[in-house]
């Protein structure tokens, strides 16, 4: 297991344990964001051929790191679903702690990956960096997201991103139980 995944899992468990969600509206809005983030990750995992080619089609034409963008959206959704209107200090602490951890983990990860891609693909990667933003999607290129030839069922299965659906379901169930039963 990658260190960033392990750290993220630990942070998620701690955040889930200490959270005290109390708003159905925040829960459902957060659940929708989590689902959107997971869909972004699923699409990205069906397009990327890791360490074999510089993927620049599908979601990778819109943003260089769609897997991390999906994780950002999922994390924001989880934090929204955990929001407690009765405990704003707890909510703020969770948002700040998770936000800072996310920023640090993915800043380090993206920098390391970019160094690898720069050394492997040289000018092609430099041109890609100039044309496509790192983490915030370029709305002018959303049409590229829907190019079906950018996706592969075999790549999707190989990348095993579908396993994340079980984690998403578990988080949603835990937060739902915490919201409705107060623990």
Residue ranges covered by each domain of the chain: 3-181
Give the integer Cα–Cα distance in Å for 172 and 68.
20
Query: What is the structure's pLDDT at 31?
Result: 97
Give the integer Cα–Cα distance in Å for 42 and 177.
26
Q: Let me know: does 58 contact 151? Beta carbons within 8 Å.
A: yes
Query: What is the structure's pLDDT at 140?
Result: 78
Among 58, 36, 30, CA closest to 45: 58
Give the integer Cα–Cα distance in Å for 30 and 46.
24
Query: What is the structure's pLDDT at 33?
Result: 98
What is the reported pTM?
Answer: 0.90
Which alpha helices (DSSP H) does 19-146 contain, by range? Answer: 24-45, 66-82, 88-121, 123-131
Query: What is the structure's pLDDT at 138?
Result: 74
As a residue count, the chain comes to 183
Give the integer Cα–Cα distance in Å for 83 and 90.
9
Query: What is the structure's pLDDT at 117?
Result: 93
Number of H helices, E strands in the chain: 7, 0
Among 113, 85, 94, 101, CA closest to 19: 94
Positions in the chain short of pLDDT 50: none
The 10s digit of each residue's pLDDT in 119-165 is: 999 999 999 999 999 998 878 777 777 788 888 888 888 878 778 88
CA atoms within 13 A on the CB side of 124: 9
């Amino acid at each position: 297991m990658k260190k960033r995944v392990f750290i993220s899992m630990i942070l998620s468990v701690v955040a889930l344990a200490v959270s005290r969600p109390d708003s159905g509206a925040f829960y459902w809005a957060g659940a929708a964001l989590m689902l959107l983030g997971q869909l972004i990750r699923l699409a990205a995992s069906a397009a990327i051929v890791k360490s074999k080619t510089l993927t620049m089609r599908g979601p990778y034409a819109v943003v260089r790191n769609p897997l991390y963008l999906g994780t950002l959206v999922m994390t924001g959704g989880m934090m929204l679903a955990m929001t407690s209107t009765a405990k704003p200090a707890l909510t703020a602490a969770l948002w700040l702690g998770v936000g800072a951890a996310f920023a640090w983990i993915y800043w380090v990860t993206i920098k390391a990956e970019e160094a690898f891609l720069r050394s492997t693909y040289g000018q092609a990667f430099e041109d890609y960096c100039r044309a496509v933003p790192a983490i915030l999607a370029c709305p002018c290129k959303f049409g590229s997201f829907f190019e079906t030839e950018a996706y592969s069922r075999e790549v999707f299965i190989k990348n095993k991103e579908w396993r994340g659906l079980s984690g998403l379901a578990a988080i949603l169930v835990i937060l739902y139980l915490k919201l409705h039963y107060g623990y």
